[in-house]
Structure 1
Amino acid sequence: MNMTLNQVNLLPVRTWKWLGVNGIAVEEEIPGEFAAWEKKTLNLPQGVIEQANAFDGADAIETGMGKDAEQFVLQNRNTEIHLVAEGKTEEPIVAEYVLGASSPVLADYNTIYAKEDSRVTFVLSYRSQGSENVFHTSLTKIYAERGAHVRLVQVQLLGDSAFHFDDVGVIEKEGALVEVIHIELGAQKLLSGCKARLEERHSRFENETIYLGDKSRSIDMNYLVQHIGKETESEIHANGALLDESKKIYRGTIDFLRGASYSVGHESEYTLLFSPKVRNRTAPLILCGEENVEGQHAASIGKIDASKLFYLMSRGISEQQAKQIVIEAQFTPALERIPVEALRESVREWLKERMKNA
């Protein structure tokens, strides 16, 4: 069985075709059937329940990767989690998936409906056992009512032969805050996307993404924030490192629609290059349909600072260890936002092993 997606991670406004950043088509062989996964037993804190079809707006939530990716997961999903937050809780809800020979294919569909003034944290973890060829697709939709606070953390540590895509869509009402943290460190082919619509006044969206490319790894990402309500805010940050013959495309768009006066949006992407054979493409984009707004974007791509390496190596640290320290420091802002200490430490250990073999 093959998966074919004709339009994925489309840039909202097309640019020169030869740059290769307008979007991509994806064709991938699926190593198995979409057999049903055992239902996850979640430790739900007080104020959060599981309830499918809890709100009518899920179909209206658009996602970062686009309709083709969304429909693929909806048609092939073999597990799903639907959360409704009614109160405030600091305790994270954690769902961990382990792919392997007995369960090589996963398509998970998740929704979070955060009611007025609620607070919830949802952590999704994906990893694989051994060197098996595994296939993972994910779709998550978030609807945050007035004053709600939602944190979504997705940690992806799949093996070198894995295929993975992660698609997110968000709608926010007045005064809502949604945080999306993407830890994208594994898989041979990696795609991710997120689209957030800040529909009402004082809503805010924050995104932290980290990625690591080595060997012949392929990474393709698309993040888009639409400012619709007045006085809305967004922060989009991505940090990554590319080694060997890996390649990456990052699209980050802030779109100020008419009526979004006094809104503020910032985006930045920083990439460290460790090999002359890597291919890095970045497409930062700010669209303005409203005059009285503040939008900033920044992209920094280059080699590791030689003076930093020299300083660390003069203290008796090897070049490999020095590079590892610099990369970990760059990833720290995202790692610190993983609310589960054991998972955070496992990511750090995984990263150290990855750098040893790079």
Structure 2
Amino acid sequence: MANETMTVNRLPALTWNWLKMNAARLEANAPAVGAAPSFVQTAQLARSSAAQDWAMETGMGTDVDRFLANSPAEYLTLGENEVMDAPAVITYTYQPGTPAGDRLYLEAKAGSTMQVAVILRNEIAGEGLAALQIKIKAEAGAVVNLSMVQVLDNGFTCLSDIGTTCADGASFELTKLELGSGKLYAGAAADLIGKGSNFTARIGYLGQGEQRLDMNYVARHRGKKTTCEMDSTGVLAGKAFKLFRGSIDLLPGGSGAKGQEQENVLLLGDGVVNQTIPLILCGEEDVEGNHGATIGRLDEKMLFYLASRGIPEEAARSLLARARIEAVVDLLPEALAEEAHKFMEAHTDEL
């Protein structure tokens, strides 16, 4: 296994180097095996060949392409105008010790509606590397709904990378919940090439103990009248560190584009480190971009109210913090929501 140094989660436009927010650097052993994923899928979603060009920008960047170049890959396709009425559930179960990496390629043909739900987990405790890259092609008028939950133990380092291209009228809808792993590097990039294409992201995260979360989400508006909406909700406790980059790139030629990005962070305690970079890049005149961040602590009046109803302060803190995460859990398919609830029951006592 070769040790590799990677630069990931690079901002589309760099800020001051002394802020140390432009990108993340990490060292990891190249994956030697895959996670042997298990599938629960409908007959509509068929395995296909790799005989096409899958080059596209991802949230984490090209170093991850190289890092996972020899990892096992699955190619899944949904035919034209087919509509899935239930998600295909894919579970990646990682083991401690040997680094494991996987690639997943999803192709939604014109007019189709694809639903895929992904779980990243482990059964045996220990230290390990879990890496997954997902690339998605949404043809004209297609809708791809991807839901993900990550519930790895604290001993794992997780790399979770997504890239997509959207043709005319296509839509990529992402719901993603990050609950575990001691070190998380995650990113998603949507290339809105076609007229009227759309990217919607609902992201939730929980950082506690000494967890480190580094995330990068980018919407690139190339086509006319494209839209994006990125909403993230997180809770940080203990000595957790989090860096979230949310970029709306309004490129030349994308007239009529509209982008919205918002983050809401709840801080529990004085030991947490929170860094947020909402970024809008504008290369076109007839566009609209909005971004913002709300960062705060628990409402003392609410804590007092709950105390007056007989709920101890520690229990009230945990209740209010979990309510933030539950708002994202409610958007997940049943199988993923069960994994999230199981993890939170076992790991949120200290909030």
TM-score category by the smaller chain? Answer: over 0.9
Q: Supply the AA of the counterpart residue of 2:47.
A: E
Seen in structure 2, the aligned counterparts of structure 1 residues 5 and 151 have a Cα distance that, compared at 3 Å, is: farther
**Alignment check: 8 A CA contact 2:6 2:64 kept:** no
Matched, 1:8 2:1: no
Partner of 1:353: 346
Please list, as runs of the form range in 1=range in 2, the aligned pairs for 1:1-358 lying within 5 A after superposition.
Answer: 1=1, 3-28=3-28, 34-35=32-33, 37-38=35-36, 40=37, 42-53=39-50, 56-59=52-55, 61-75=56-70, 77=71, 79-86=72-79, 87-101=82-96, 104-339=98-333, 341-358=334-351
- Displacement of 1:311 after TM fit? 2.1
Query: Distance between the aligned counterparts of 1:133 and 1:52, measured in 2?
Result: 34
Seen in structure 2, the aligned counterparts of structure 1 residues 162 and 82 have a Cα distance that, compared at 3 Å, is: same
Identity of aligned residues (%): 33
Query: Distance between the aligned counterparts of 1:15 and 1:302, measured in 2?
Result: 25
Q: Which moved more, 1:302-311 or 1:141-150?
A: 302-311
Seen in structure 2, the aligned counterparts of structure 1 residues 171 and 184 have a Cα distance that, compared at 3 Å, is: same
Seen in structure 2, the aligned counterparts of structure 1 residues 8 and 245 have a Cα distance that, compared at 3 Å, is: same
SS class of match (1:350):
helix
The alignment's TM-score, normalised by the length of structure 1, stands at 0.92
Q: Which moved more, 1:230-239 or 1:346-355?
A: 346-355
Seen in structure 2, the aligned counterparts of structure 1 residues 310 and 153 have a Cα distance that, compared at 3 Å, is: same
Deviations 1:132-156 (A, max 9, x none): 1121011100000011010111211
Q: Supply the AA of the counterpart residue of 1:65.
A: M
Query: Distance between the aligned counterparts of 1:173 and 1:126, measured in 2?
Result: 29
- Displacement of 1:36 after TM fit? 5.0
SS class of match (2:75):
strand
Q: Supply the AA of the counterpart residue of 1:8.
A: V
- Displacement of 1:249 after TM fit? 0.6
- Displacement of 1:116 after TM fit? 0.3
SS class of match (2:348):
helix
**Alignment check: 8 A CA contact 2:60 2:216 kept:** yes
SS class of match (1:225):
strand
- Displacement of 1:313 after TM fit? 2.5
Seen in structure 2, the aligned counterparts of structure 1 residues 218 and 176 have a Cα distance that, compared at 3 Å, is: same
Gaps of at least 5 residues in structure 1 are none
**Alignment check: 8 A CA contact 1:104 1:133 kept:** no
Query: Distance between the aligned counterparts of 1:57 and 1:2, measured in 2?
Result: 27
Seen in structure 2, the aligned counterparts of structure 1 residues 357 and 130 have a Cα distance that, compared at 3 Å, is: farther
**Alignment check: 8 A CA contact 1:70 1:167 kept:** no
- Structure 1 runs (4+) greater than 4 angstroms displaced: none
Query: Distance between the aligned counterparts of 1:165 and 1:200, measured in 2?
Result: 29
SS class of match (1:42):
strand
Q: Supply the AA of the counterpart residue of 1:200.
A: G
**Alignment check: 8 A CA contact 2:35 2:93 kept:** no
**Alignment check: 8 A CA contact 1:10 1:23 kept:** yes
SS class of match (1:313):
helix
SS class of match (2:22):
coil
Seen in structure 2, the aligned counterparts of structure 1 residues 93 and 175 have a Cα distance that, compared at 3 Å, is: same
SS class of match (1:74):
coil
**Alignment check: 8 A CA contact 2:157 2:183 kept:** yes
- Displacement of 1:104 after TM fit? 4.5
Query: Distance between the aligned counterparts of 1:5 and 1:68, measured in 2?
Result: 9
SS class of match (2:341):
helix
**Alignment check: 8 A CA contact 2:117 2:336 kept:** no
Q: Which moved more, 1:207-216 or 1:342-351?
A: 342-351
Query: Distance between the aligned counterparts of 1:223 and 1:41, measured in 2?
Result: 27
**Alignment check: 8 A CA contact 1:50 1:84 kept:** yes
RMSD: 1.8
The alignment's TM-score, normalised by the length of structure 2, stands at 0.94
Aligned residues: 349
Gaps of at least 5 residues in structure 2 are none
Query: Distance between the aligned counterparts of 1:161 and 1:36, measured in 2?
Result: 18
Deviations 1:152-209 (A, max 9, x none): 1121100011110101001001111111222111001101001101111111101111
